[in-house]
């Protein structure tokens, strides 16, 4: 599998409107607007940092994965996303290695990316996202 870079850090927030102040006004990162991914019940906001990005995640529904995460663990870093050259090949390789996956096949993420999550139980507690753009 070819991992190209850390694509982004996903940070769960109660409100992008409240949360973006620190990233855009205090740190001075560019704010590229929000995008809602209904299938995942989440609104995202991306802040580019060099070759990577910070992604703020706000749940659109109390039963969405981000809302459940905040309920259990509070706001904060929710996942790390690695950009891969070929997500299908990466998932096939992980499956062959017996790694537990949340997504057996890629789904659509923000910004037209193909994404898939690995199970935190297989990674030492970190929710890992693979993405291909």
Residue 76, strand partner residues: 12
What would the two tokens of residue 78 be?
């929710």
Output 33 or 98, the one with its CB closest to Zn ion.
Answer: 33
Question: What phi and psi, each to the nearest 5 degrees, are found at residue 61?
Answer: -155, 145
Q: Are 110 and 46 a contacting pair, CB within 8 Å?
A: yes
Q: Segment near Zn ion (CB under 5 A), from 8-16, 59-67, 68-76, 85-93?
A: 8-16
CA nearest 23: which of 60, 48, 43, 50?
48
What would the two tokens of residue 8 be?
């982004």
Map residues 27-66 to x or -, x wherever contact with Zn ion holds by CB under 5 A.
----------------------------------------
Residue 29, strand partner residues: none
Would you count residue 81 as binding Zn ion (CB under 5 A)?
Answer: yes
Output 54 or 96, the one with its CB closest to Zn ion.
Answer: 54
Shortest Å distance, C-beta 56 to Zn ion: 10
- Residues within the interface to Zn ion (CB under 5 A): 10, 81, 129
């Amino acid at each position: 599998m070819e991992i190209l870079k850390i694509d982004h850090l996903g940070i769960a927030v109660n409100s992008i409107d409240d949360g973006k102040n620190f990233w855009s006004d205090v740190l001075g990162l560019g704010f590229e607007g929000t995008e809602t991914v209904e299938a995942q019940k989440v609104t995202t906001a991306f802040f580019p940092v060099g070759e990577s990005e910070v992604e703020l995640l706000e749940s659109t529904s109390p039963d969405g994965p981000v809302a459940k995460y905040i309920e259990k663990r509070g706001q904060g870093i929710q996942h790390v996303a690695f950009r891969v050259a070929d997500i299908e090949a990466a998932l096939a390789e992980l499956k062959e290695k017996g790694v537990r996956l949340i997504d057996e096949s890629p789904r659509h993420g923000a910004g037209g990316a193909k994404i898939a999550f690995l199970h935190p139980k297989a990674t030492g507690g970190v929710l890992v996202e693979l993405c291909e753009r």
